[in-house]
Structure formats: structure tokens, C-alpha cells
Structure 1
Amino acid sequence: MTRQFDPELLYVECSQCGQPILWGHGTTSKLLRMAGIETATLDERCVIVSEGCPACQPGETSFTTQVVRLGREKGDRMSHSAAAN
């Protein structure tokens, strides 16, 4: 049996202030689709890092994000960029 990772469970953190970012249900999946990232390539080691958030940049509504896989093994690289509104 193959388990599929739910992308909505990805942890999202601001790289500027370090705060976790809470998005509405479906936002992560929408962002991944817009960036062309296959959800089958994600697992529990993946996180989304935002280059800012409303807490540290009041008034901003759009932030660049990256999907990062933590604890990469040699040769196992994954880093995708996307813009979130």
C-alpha cells in the first residue's frame, strides 16, 4: 500500500522573523500547483519557507516562498520557488 503525503500538513515558517505561518485550508495545495511542484515528491521532511510575513512586514500581501527538504542526503536536492499572495 502506498501512502500519499498530504501537502496541507507542510510546516510554513517566515525566514525573516521565524514565526510559523498559518494559511487557510487549500492554500498550500494551490501554491504548489501554481509552482508546478508534484505533491508526490513531498514528504514529512519538506517545509515551506516564506521570505516575509504579515507579522514582520505589515501591509505586504505577497511573499516569495520556497519548498525545502530538511536533512537532505547527498545528491538528494529539492528547492522550488513560488510566489504566494
Structure 2
Amino acid sequence: MTGRFDPSLLYAECRRCGAPVVRASDPSEDLLWMGIPPEALDADCLLVYDGCPSCSPDRSDYEPRLIRFSRREDSRHAN
């Protein structure tokens, strides 16, 4: 991938109910809090939160976790 990946494009979902999580703040703040530099991101990354307003309405703060999916090798060349 060429160029810098925009952290605002990072998909985020709840690990409990699978609902998309819409963040009011910039996701770069969560990433920096976790010690992950925004320049280390790419389209294979996902933010997963430990709850959301849909399944945990009694909470106001949900802890994020970054997941990086590994790329699959091109199966056409595997024998």
C-alpha cells in the first residue's frame, strides 16, 4: 500500500454484539493510548471494543483492541 492510511477509515465493531461502533472522537487518540502509531495501520486492521451503547447502555467508556488480519497468499499459485 502506498501513502499513509487514514485512521478515521478504520472499521470498529463491538466484540459482544457485532454492531458497528461509531466513535465521537478521533480513533488516533485510542491508538496512541494503546501505543500504536497511526502510521503502522493499513486496511487489514480493525478496532474491536469490549461493548457498545447497544449491548452495554449502562457504560459510557468501552476499551478498544486492535486486530490485524493476516493477508492470504494467492491460492492460484499454491500447489
TM exceeds 0.5?
A: yes
Question: Alignment partner of 2:55: what SS?
Answer: coil
Distance of 2:49 and 2:68 partners within structure 1: 14
Task: Give the corresponding residue for 1:81.
Answer: none
Q: Aligned letter for 2:11?
A: Y
Distance of 1:65 and 1:35 partners within structure 2: 8
Matched, 1:5 2:5: yes
Question: Alignment partner of 1:67: what SS?
Answer: strand
Distance of 2:3 and 2:63 partners within structure 1: 30
Residues 8 and 25, structure 1, Cα contact 8 Å, conserved in 2: no
Matched, 1:62 2:46: no
More strand by share: 1
Task: Give the corresponding residue for 1:49.
Answer: 48
**Number of matched residues?**
71
Provide the aligned C-alpha RMSD in A.
Answer: 1.6
Distance of 2:28 and 2:43 partners within structure 1: 15
Distance of 2:55 and 2:14 partners within structure 1: 9
List runs of 5+ in structure 1 lacking aligned partners: 74-85
Distance of 1:19 and 1:43 partners within structure 2: 21
Question: Alignment partner of 1:52: what SS?
Answer: coil
Q: Which is higher, the Rg of structure 1 or of structure 2?
A: 2
Question: Alignment partner of 1:49: what SS?
Answer: strand
Residues 50 and 65, structure 1, Cα contact 8 Å, conserved in 2: yes
Q: Aligned letter for 1:61?
A: S
Query: 1:24 Cα shift?
Result: 2.2
